[in-house]
Structure 1
Amino acid sequence: MTAAAHRHTADVAATPVDTRHWIAGRRVESAAAFPDSSPIDGRPLAEVARGTVADADDAVAAAAAAFPAWAATPRAERARLLHAIADGVEGRLDDLARVETADNGALLRAHRRSVMPRVAHNFRFFADRALSLGRKDFETRGHRNHVSWDPAGPCALITPWNAPLMLATWKVAPALAAGNTVVLKPSEWSPLTASLLADIAAAAGLPPGVLNVLQGYGAEAGAALAAHPGVRRVSFTGSVPTGRRVAAAAATHLTPVSLELGGKSPLLVFADADLDLAADLAVGQYDNAGQVCLAATRLLVEEPVAEAFTRRLMDRAARLTPGDPREPGTDLGPLIHPRQLERVDGYVRRAVEEGARALLGGGPNSRLGGLHYLPTLLTDVDQDSEIVQEEVFGPVLTLQTFRGEDEAVRLADGTRFGLAAALATGDSRRAERVGARLTAGTVWVNCFYVRDLRAPFGGARQSGIGREGGGWSFDFYCDLKNTVTAPTPTPTDGGGHAEGSGHG
């Protein structure tokens, strides 16, 4: 390896990762770099290219140059290449899992068992789904209507740090399957597996410029992409404040946006619920150290069973094993960044100062140190308090009680969010009634996080704009066009105008 190559390659979990951009089928460096450290132990992982406005221009130009040929590529060939990328993901699944765990601190066993297999499935599902795009033609007074899904053009995909590669490919796969080209901007807190994805796509034979990876800070590289006049779609997953800025930047050129933003989801536990099941659902909200947009962090429990439910939940939470996410027995890893630890602890400290009571946890894990935070359960919280209204994005749950369905729905819908909701009940009719009244993009009944790529995903209110999944992804990543064709003229004996069509 040359000295120059070594400078641009990081050894992460025994896997070489190129830390430069991937633009037009080649590696491109920037004048500056930013540091990337592991949340597991704080050790530096890499110095990553810090994208500029000029780098964003180059990436969009590469995507624009590659777009006509990729858009004209038959769907079957695009599908073949996406399946080849999925093969490449599966072939490097362990590399991807180890690098992502080092980079964002999520459990290695989850990356191996579910997250990285889902990455491959994203490509396979949307590759196959694109082959079936289309509706039957329909007639209007003898005229034929034909609806087509035309590729929109270069897409800017700005993705978060909590499930980096899975959420990136949830956008990349349908965008490419639709015939668009892509500039992917991963989070600066977890940028490394996006670089490996570029290698995998190139090895699979994806043409240069079809997938570009632009590294850098959101306020620099991400902002430049969102405001770029050459971008035809912007898809963003992240916080509400950043989502507002992305939408405002894209509005300059009326670029359509898809925004999957924050959540403050409720879990409603009714007195007729299986309390063991309900407690299992509740303790599951500590997954990924609570860094999950869908997490049902607001526990709303019917008064008669609140004490029994709380005992069950605390018993299960006490059995969680915090520690090194690379160890198979660990249930709870670290938060991703010192700023995130400060944010989470700030919410908890202010809640306690305002009268909340910590039944569990309540602060950093002093035994483990670093970025580890204790699984926390707060009660005696007011509906309008900060801890109930704001997305904490850490292992912090609140517990409130209710009397009857009306109060349950009022509390559940009493935030500005509407991403998801879950409810536990033994009454199927109640499940239907309450589920229909909840404001949420997804409602789970006696289960949680059961996801099917055929289903729409997105949020109401300030949890986002638009839906992803199934045909909804293609509705966003395509320009839908209706072609209306008049009836074929009736032939005439003399070759003149058909009867009734003269100008008189």
Structure 2
Amino acid sequence: MPDTITVAGVAVDTRHWIGGLRVASADAFTDHSPIDASVLGEIARGGPVEAEAAVAAARDAFPAWAATSRTERARLLHAIADGVEKRIEELAIVETTDNGALLRSHRRGVMPRVAHNFRFFADWLLRLDHEDFETRGYTNHVSWDPAGPCVLITPWNAPLMLATWKVAPALAAGNTVVLKPAEWSPLTASLLADIAAEAGLPAGVLNVVQGYGSEIGDALTSHPDVRRISFTGSVPTARRIAASAAANLTPLSLELGGKSPLLVFADADLDLAVDLAVEQYDNAGQVCLAGTRLLVEEPVAEEFTRRFVEKASALAQGDPRDEATDIGPTIHPRQLEKIDGFVQRAVAAGARAVIGGHRKDGQYYAPTLLTDVAQDSEIVQEEVFGPVLTLQTFAGEDEAVRLANDTCFGLAATVATGDRERAERVSARLVAGTVWINCFFVRDLQAPFGGSRQSGVGREGGTWSFDFYCDLKNTVTAPKGWNQDHG
């Protein structure tokens, strides 16, 4: 197994990054490109041995990193951001080749956001403060103490952006990190290790291990030296992680699945509503926040559907490296099989495919819209994670809210309406961690992010991230009792 592979002209190390060194494994897994199923390389496949080594490296590096000043930590995070910005083109083409998302999106939005993740949390660290307050003359001082080694397990749909959404605040907080990227898209995590080392991050502060969750993930999440676990992924995997962490009472942050509604009221700007709905096909529907359940008020349902079909049918699906492409492939043959299974079972149960409803050549699935679906059906209740939307109608606000909230999820919701008061009423009643009104996917790192119900546990972003990645301490000082003769 070669130590380095070349992906789109970029050299990528296939080994783990542990304690500031590249570490090989006896076993490997094969990484394929979803664009054409070509083999990208054999990637080091870690297990309990590598997990133990990575946690030990993070544990050993923790005291010195925790004692590093806020100013120096922030400087190093900015240096990592500088490194990302110098390599945006390389990171973009490697990630597109590895996970199939649009190259134009990686160049213009995703990779610049990776750099911004580091800059934001570096700057937020320097302003992190809570004003002292008095209790009957006693002074209370709140501080954020580094917690210790953190295990961060990240998904395949936006690998580097979502990894750094966790890595940046964890490092800023003074913690050390073991990052385990998804095995379907591991390559940019390896490049991040190189960038961090070049920026001067001390050995052991950031460790990257690769492999299958069942082999290395369990060893990481059950380790008694791990002080925080953050995971983005599916509900079943989250349950296994929570069970694994329970023995040590390790705090968890879980950002899980979604089955988000997009509510279109009759008073909405219909062109805007259609644009928002078609946008849900972004990244071939492989977005946890996607509003996959279109709920449209009855008087405009027919016209909305007509305009939606016209616009969605014009989307160009193909090679994500082509600037003209709007929708790329699904990540993996197993995911493609899962998506098609959902659709075929829905059609067999009486749903109608207005557009799509079938596979295309390779790992591509046609953008699909299903109507005539029952509220309690699998296709309405369970996350598909592909380019598949359903459309239902409603008669008024109460029914809209009832349908919107009638799943086990609560990650996000989108509301299209021309009535400001209605927007306020409806958004207040929706069960969701994020509600967008007449917009979609506007995210600010200052805002709390996370889900309700089975969409997650906890919130991250701004001070909420530091609240999770730190041990909060309140120090209470008496107004007297000092020795005035101490010199």
Q: TM-score, normalised by structure 1?
A: 0.95
Aligned pair partner of 1:346 in 341, 346, 349: 341
Q: Which amino acid aligns with 1:118?
A: R
1:91 aligns with 2:83: no
Q: Which has the larger radius of gyration?
A: 1
Q: Which amino acid aligns with 1:425?
A: T
d(CA) in 2 for partners of 1:219, 1:448:
35
What's 1:18 paired with? 13
d(CA) in 2 for partners of 1:491, 1:290:
66
- Structure 1: tracts of 5 or more residues without a match: 1-5, 496-504
d(CA) in 1 for partners of 2:455, 2:85:
32
Aligned pair partner of 2:111 in 116, 137, 153: 116
What's 1:209 paired with? 204
SS in 1 for 2:432: coil
- Structure 2: tracts of 5 or more residues without a match: none
What's 1:68 paired with? 63
Alignment of 1:302-317 (within 5 A): 302-317=297-312
Q: In the TM superposition, what whole-angstrom CA distance separates every residue of 1:137-186 from its partner, at most 9, and x where no partner exists?
A: 11111111111000000000000000000000000000000000000000
SS in 2 for 1:201: helix
1:417 aligns with 2:412: no
Q: Which amino acid aligns with 2:228?
A: R
What's 1:502 paired with? none
d(CA) in 2 for partners of 1:182, 1:240:
23
What's 2:431 paired with? 439
What's 2:381 paired with? 389
Q: Which amino acid aligns with 1:65?
A: D
1:477 aligns with 2:457: no
Q: In the TM superposition, what whole-angstrom CA distance separates every residue of 1:56-112 from its partner, at most 9, and x where no partner exists?
A: 000000000000000000000000000000000000000000000000000000000
d(CA) in 1 for partners of 2:201, 2:420:
48
Q: Which amino acid aligns with 2:66?
A: A
Structure 1 residue 252 displacement after superposition: 1.0
What's 1:458 paired with? 450
Q: In the TM superposition, what whole-angstrom CA distance separates every residue of 1:433-472 from its partner, at most 9, and x where no partner exists?
A: 0000000000000000001000000000000000011100
What's 2:149 paired with? 154
Structure 1 residue 491 displacement after superposition: 8.3
Aligned pair partner of 2:183 in 174, 182, 188: 188
Aligned pair partner of 1:169 in 164, 168, 179: 164
Q: Which amino acid aligns with 1:251?
A: A
d(CA) in 2 for partners of 1:62, 1:413:
45
Q: Which amino acid aligns with 1:415?
A: T
d(CA) in 1 for partners of 2:322, 2:218:
37
SS in 2 for 1:472: helix
1:77 aligns with 2:72: yes
1:225 aligns with 2:235: no
CA RMSD of aligned residues (A): 1.0
1:244 aligns with 2:239: yes
Structure 1 residue 380 displacement after superposition: 0.1
Structure 1 residue 46 displacement after superposition: 1.1
d(CA) in 1 for partners of 2:34, 2:25:
25
SS in 1 for 2:439: coil
Structure 1 residue 134 displacement after superposition: 1.5
1:144 aligns with 2:133: no
d(CA) in 1 for partners of 2:209, 2:225:
15
Q: How many residues align?
A: 485
Structure 1 residue 411 displacement after superposition: 0.2
Aligned pair partner of 1:321 in 301, 316, 323: 316
d(CA) in 1 for partners of 2:286, 2:145:
36
Structure 1 residue 220 displacement after superposition: 1.2
SS in 2 for 1:76: helix
Structure 1 runs (4+) greater than 3 angstroms displaced: 489-492
Structure 1 residue 224 displacement after superposition: 1.1
What's 1:286 paired with? 281
Aligned pair partner of 1:129 in 124, 127, 134: 124
SS in 2 for 1:7: coil
